[in-house]
Amino acid sequence: MVDSSAQQPTDNNGSTKAWSGRFSEPVSDLVKRYTASVFFDNRMAEQDIRGSLAHARMLARQKIIGAQDLADIERGMAQILEEIRRGELQWNLDDEDVHLNIERRLTALVGDAGKRLHTGRSRNDQVATDIRLWLRDAIDQIVSLIGDFQTNLLNLAEQHTRTAMPGFTHLQVAQPVTFGHHLLAYFEMTVRDAERFADARRRVNRLPLGAAALAGTSYPIDREFVARELGFEAVCENSLDAVSDRDFAIEFTSACALLMTHLSRMSEELILWMSPRFGFIDLADRFCTGSSIMPQKKNPDVPELVRGKTGRINGHLVALLTLMKGQPLAYNKDNQEDKEPLFDAADTVIDTLRIYADMITGIRVKADNMRAALTQGFATATDLADYLVKRGLPFRDAHEAVALAVRAAEARGCDLHELSLDELKGFSALVGDDVFGVLTVEGSLAARNHIGGTAPEQVAAAIVRARSRIAKA
């Protein structure tokens, strides 16, 4: 579970801030609200507790705190976790963020042991740790949802290894392809997306704790132990870097932006195909809505929103890049602004993948309309040119001969295969009576018989290979 947010914070004017000792006047309510992050960072509460427990176990092992302190901290944290899960923990605006809220509750429950927890660490390395733990879970969830999307895509493709449709360039009919082949293009895009998330995860999965505020700590800590406890692959090597950079969050969001870009392109196609002008597919009603004024309308709202939400993710990516670019080392409060874009990017991608996997099962293919569209655009013209080339004509001459044949067919209002053998011979003496074999859609498809080609036999084999490449967390 990524989300552990509970109640909204309340403003408890009575309490003193964890750092207020140095100050002569309290912050105004506006400043308090402006600087607080507990409204949104309390969804990292479970990660914060996991990180604190690992830190406390290390402190006890290293004899920096006592065994009884550790026992008290573990008992208190177990209770806090329960309170959070039951939605009972009171989030308090005066305590700024998730870290101070949990620490204050711990101290209320167990006394001095709670006050010892923050020995040898800072909120700077604490927050960086929490985000990385949170993001690691989010990445695992996203990769497994990409796998669900891919499974459903392959199931649909499998039913359409022979379903002919026009392939387009410039949105003009270009050459016949199979619908299965077209869908496999999206499979490949999402394979790369899953790779990008998995690759980003390697750099997310490093432990910042131990960096403390920025320079490390004077206590005899054991960072490797904490890393192992939390399942991190290694520790961040430089303390200044550990607390200040959010490049891992930017990488993640950029992987989100590319994934959404792919789904947005697919959405654009679903929208076009569903328009009666194409009529290639119908989309199950549960992904569409009607119009309040036009009773006949069935609008593809879900794919339209996927296209729209892609803009929102691109915005988050630019926000995070901009957030980082001017910051001097090490930690600056600017970094608190990393969370909302990051959380929203993950939430949006997770919802989009869930909905998309289901939507694919709701696509009804109108194969007759796909085939009819093929006969309107001279889709086998390249096949005729290739036929002439194989009989010895240079490709440029073949191109010219076929262009003239297309003009003649267009003038007659017919397709190339409807011209007579004599007419076709008029464009090149190399035309023989076997020419109609290449002018048919089936001939054109079958001819592209190599890895990555659209021949039905190749598409079926590609689907078999793809099954073993489905993303797994």
Q: Which residues are catalytic, by number?
A: 170, 291
- SS3 state at 161: coil
Q: Strands of 201-327 (E only): list them.
A: 206-207, 234-235, 281-283
CB of 213 to ligand ARG, least distance (A): 7
CB of 38 to ligand ARG, least distance (A): 8
CB of 48 to ligand ARG, least distance (A): 10
Give residue 365's region: left, alpha or beta (phi > 0; psi -120 to 50): beta
Dihedral of CA atoms 45, 50, 56, 59 in degrees, nearest 10, equals -130
CB of 154 to ligand ARG, least distance (A): 41
Binding site for ligand ARG (CB under 6 A): 37, 41, 97, 123-124, 127, 331, 333, 335-336
To 10 degrees, what angle do helices 123-158 and 456-467 make?
A: 140
φ, ψ of residue 169 to 5 degrees: the values are -130, 145
Dihedral of CA atoms 164, 170, 171, 172 in degrees, nearest 10, equals -70
The pair of three-digit structure tokens given for residue 283, joined into one six-digit string: 């989309």
Q: Considering the complex, state which of residue 9 and residue 147 has its C-beta at the smaller distance from ligand ARG.
A: 9
Classify residue 433 as exposed, middle or buried by CB count within 10 Å of its CB (0-12, 13-18, 19+): exposed
Q: Considering the complex, state which of residue 309 and residue 339 has its C-beta at the smaller distance from ligand ARG.
A: 339
CB of 60 to ligand ARG, least distance (A): 24
- The residue with tokens 């309290």 is 26
Instruction: Please name the residues in contact with 199: beta carbons below 8 A apart, sequence gap of 6 or more.
Output: none
Q: Considering the complex, state which of residue 217 and residue 267 has its C-beta at the smaller distance from ligand ARG.
A: 217
CB of 332 to ligand ARG, least distance (A): 9
Residue from 371, 388, 374, 175 nearest 405 by CA: 388
**What distance in Å separates the CA atoms of residue 201 and residue 198, rounded to the nearest whole number?**
5
Q: Considering the complex, state which of residue 136 and residue 417 has its C-beta at the smaller distance from ligand ARG.
A: 136
**What distance in Å separates the CA atoms of residue 73 and residue 356, rounded to the nearest whole number?**
43
Q: Considering the complex, state which of residue 216 and residue 279 has its C-beta at the smaller distance from ligand ARG.
A: 216
| Contact (Cβ atoms closer than 8 angstroms) between residue 103 and residue 18 | yes
